[in-house]
Amino acid sequence: MSVTDWSLLSLLSSSIEQCKSIEFMPLTSTDEYTVYCHCEENIYLCLNLYEIKPIVNLCYSFIFSKHYQDNSQLNILTRVLLCYVTECLTSWNIRRRLVLSNVINIQDELQFLEVLLHLKPKSEQLFRYRRWILKQENINNISINKELEICDRTAELHIINYAS
């Protein structure tokens, strides 16, 4: 676990935060340079399909390390990991703790979850966490129409989508 690895995860996290859609693509790399992500006009983030395993392993190694237990670091690590593995209960539980301690803003989290739902529209854990987030938020700050649009969009992407 080097500083370079942490820089890569921080870069991925900030790119995820800025983009509105995430896609996995087989991006080509050379021996000298590995392409991890590409962001076009802060709208689309393309993650390299060939780098899933190394990034996931790197995130896990940082999360379970005693050196990276700072809340802001955990926020970065779980954000990156959940883009790759949305069914990771450990990441969802860490994010719950961060929301309760006000490290993560609920409105920002709802926006992040919307991006993840576009990427993984059938993720049961993602929907469960979104319901939990909505219960934490003030009812006046929730747009019912937007929630219904998200459910409609995810239901259209997968016909048998019980969670949406």
φ and ψ of 37, to 5 deg: -155, 165
Q: Which residue has the higher pLDDT, 100 or 159?
A: 100
pLDDT in tens, 67-100: 767 888 899 999 999 988 999 999 999 999 999 9
Cα gap 56→129, rounded to integer Å: 20
The model's pTM? 0.82
* Residue 37 in this model has a pLDDT that exceeds 80: no
pLDDT for 42 equals 61
Whole-number pLDDT of residue 68: 64
Q: Which helix (H) or strand (E) holds 23?
A: strand 21-25
